[in-house]
């Protein structure tokens, strides 16, 4: 018998193979973002079907974003140790199974539990993407591949709210809100079919896992967030405040533990050198505040439309479309053109536009009839989306620019984790403000409640202005050569 000769792939075949593999990575990332926004729109319908306390609506989102935030860096470390392709496949498989379980959940408690598993799986998927892209591409191709992440995420942001409304409203085969979770199954299957084309990749020097640090972070953040869900913040009990203080104390212990781990030559979850200058801690505070506003407001708007006005889920999703479209367009223009010319000024312009949009929404709500859909709100939400899109590319560019190359991976993971933490706090705080203000019942109470929530968001945006100013180091130039 003659031995078979294995031919190396042609350059064209290799090119197609790499970009097909990139499709799997981008689809995996987009699926994670879609899941968050789809469920926010479907949440009132889930509550109407499964019952439970009104605060459970917040848990449908928080149960996903909280483990996502806390386990993100650990997920990256697992990829460094065991292989990024392997962890990516494990994460997508777990996400698909958890999504199916969410769709079949018969009770609120089980749904929330399965959402926790979804969030943990998301934390395994996301950190592997950049490393796998760097393994498959080099030079200009790598820049193009990394640059494709932004537009895909923008498209997911546009499609998420609308798709959530369409799927839930369509009630395919009587699935109602369950279709918002089932959509992840075919997407996951496509990713898993393509995933074998990914190249395996590990860190050249395998880091150690800091499980004690992970546990401290989970306990500390959990103690802070749990009392805020459904709480009347102005009248919280001593137990609630005690839990928050305990959570802050645990986070201090977490910080001390990280210093000890780094001093012992092991791999901490958070690189202590990131806090040597004020700019990065200021970026963490800014990210927390900013994403608390955007995610919290999105939930409040959906609650007002569906619970306050009785609008169906389809129109609730379509109401968020101007926000999503504005975000996608402004993010692309800002990242591709404006940041490299105007630098950090785009960050402040984005916050200013966001503030104008929020104040315009308050004015619309103030003049609105409590029982009538406020059409001018669409314009105000479009302005909010423009502000969000202008801010984001500039923010991440400025946040990462002063760091050393060895710090970028840890910093990016921490920024992503804090982004999810901000989303968790925003849903907890603004959602609680709305639900408690609307508790007296009736359209007028709901209309007043959404205005109160927006005023709280305005205060958070003003605080973001202050913290973002601390990100700018004296004499620093961030215009030429800035990369998003």
Core vs surface per residue 355-388: b (16+ CB within 10 A) or e: bebbbbbbebbeebeeeeebeebbebbbbbbbbb
Rounded to the nearest 5°, which phi and psi values hold at 333?
-65, -45
Q: Could you tell me how many residues make up the chain? A: 484
Whole-angstrom distance, CA of residue 484 vs CA of residue 482: 7
In the numeric block, the tokens 């949440």 are attached to 43
Is the CA virtual torsion 229, 234, 240, 243 positive or negative? positive
Of the pLDDT bands very low, low, confident and very high (cuts 50, 70, 90), residue 416 is confident
9 pLDDT more than 60: no
What pLDDT was estimated at residue 203? 67
What pLDDT was estimated at residue 314? 86
The stretches of 304-439 forming alpha helices (DSSP H) are 313-319, 321-333, 339-342, 345-367, 377-400, 405-437
Give me 255's structure tokens: 């910080």
What pLDDT was estimated at residue 480? 39
What pLDDT was estimated at residue 464? 94
177 pLDDT more than 60: yes
Mean pLDDT for the stretch of residues 248-273: 84
What pLDDT was estimated at residue 286? 93
- In this structure, are residues 287 and 398 in contact, taking their beta carbons and an 8 Å threshold? no
What pLDDT was estimated at residue 147? 67
Whole-angstrom distance, CA of residue 368 vs CA of residue 423: 28
- In this structure, are residues 299 and 484 in contact, taking their beta carbons and an 8 Å threshold? no
Give me 336's structure tokens: 């591709």
Average pLDDT of the chain?
A: 84
Comparing C-alpha atoms, which of 401, 415, 123 is closest to residue 281? 415
- In this structure, are residues 463 and 89 in contact, taking their beta carbons and an 8 Å threshold? no
Among the ranges 292-306, 399-413, 463-477, which has the highest mean pLDDT value? 292-306
Give the tens place of pLDDT for each residue, 85-118.
899 999 999 999 999 999 999 999 999 999 999 9
Radius of gyration (Cα) for the chain, nearest Å?
Answer: 22
In the numeric block, the tokens 């939400």 are attached to 381
Mean pLDDT for the stretch of residues 41-53: 87
What pLDDT was estimated at residue 292? 93
- The structure's pTM equals 0.84
What pLDDT was estimated at residue 484? 40
Whole-angstrom distance, CA of residue 150 vs CA of residue 284: 20
Burial class (CB in 10 A: 0-12, 13-18, 19+), 211: exposed
What pLDDT was estimated at residue 363? 96
How many Cβ atoms sit within 10 Å of the Cβ of residue 101? 17
The HSE-up count of residue 384 (CA atoms within 13 Å, CB side) is 29
């Amino acid at each position: 018998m003659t031995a078979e000769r294995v031919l190396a792939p042609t350059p064209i075949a290799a090119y197609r193979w790499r970009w097909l593999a990139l499709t799997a990575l981008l689809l995996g990332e987009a699926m994670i973002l879609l899941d968050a926004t789809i469920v926010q729109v479907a949440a009132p319908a889930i509550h109407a079907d499964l019952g439970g306390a009104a605060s459970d609506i917040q848990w449908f989102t928080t149960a996903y974003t909280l483990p996502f935030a806390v386990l993100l860096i650990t997920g990256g470390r697992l990829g460094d140790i065991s292989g990024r392709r392997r962890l990516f496949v494990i994460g997508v498989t777990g996400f698909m199974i958890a999504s199916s379980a969410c769709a079949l959940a018969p009770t609120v408690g089980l749904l929330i539990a399965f959402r926790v598993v979804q969030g943990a799986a998301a934390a395994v998927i996301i950190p592997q993407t950049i490393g796998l892209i760097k393994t498959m591409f080099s030079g200009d191709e790598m820049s193009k591949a990394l640059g494709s992440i932004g537009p895909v995420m923008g498209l997911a942001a546009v499609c998420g709210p609308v798709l959530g409304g369409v799927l839930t409203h369509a009630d395919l085969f009587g699935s109602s809100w369950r279709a918002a979770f089932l959509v992840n199954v075919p997407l996951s299957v496509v990713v898993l079919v393509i995933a074998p084309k990914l190249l395996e990749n590990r860190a050249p020097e395998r880091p150690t896992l800091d499980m004690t640090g992970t546990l401290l972070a989970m306990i500390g953040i959990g103690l802070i967030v749990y009392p805020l869900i459904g709480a009347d913040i102005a009248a919280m009990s001593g137990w609630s405040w005690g839990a928050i203080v305990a959570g802050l104390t645990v986070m201090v212990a977490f910080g001390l533990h990280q210093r000890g781990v780094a001093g012992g030559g092991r791999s901490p979850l958070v690189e202590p050198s990131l806090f040597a200058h004020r700019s990065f801690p200021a970026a963490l505070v800014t990210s927390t505040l900013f994403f608390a506003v955007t995610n919290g407001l999105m939930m409040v708007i959906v609650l007002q439309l569906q619970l306050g006005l009785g609008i169906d889920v389809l129109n609730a999703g379509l109401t968020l479309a101007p926000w999503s479209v504005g975000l996608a367009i402004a993010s692309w223009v800002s990242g591709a053109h404006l940041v490299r010319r105007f630098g950090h000024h785009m960050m402040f312009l984005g916050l200013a536009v966001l503030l104008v949009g929020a104040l315009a929404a308050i004015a619309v709500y103030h003049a609105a009839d409590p029982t009538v859909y406020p059409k001018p709100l669409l314009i105000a939400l479009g302005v909010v989306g423009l502000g969000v899109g202008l801010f984001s590319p500039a923010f991440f560019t400025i946040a990462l620019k002063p760091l050393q190359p060895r710090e970028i991976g840890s910093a990016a993971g921490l920024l992503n984790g804090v982004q999810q933490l901000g989303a968790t706090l925003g849903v907890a705080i603004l959602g609680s403000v709305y639900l408690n203000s609307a508790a007296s019942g009736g359209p007028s109470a709901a209309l007043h409640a959404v205005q109160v929530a927006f005023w709280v968001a305005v205060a958070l945006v003003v605080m973001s202005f202050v913290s973002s100013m601390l990100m700018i180091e004296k004499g620093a130039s961030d215009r030429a050569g800035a990369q998003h």
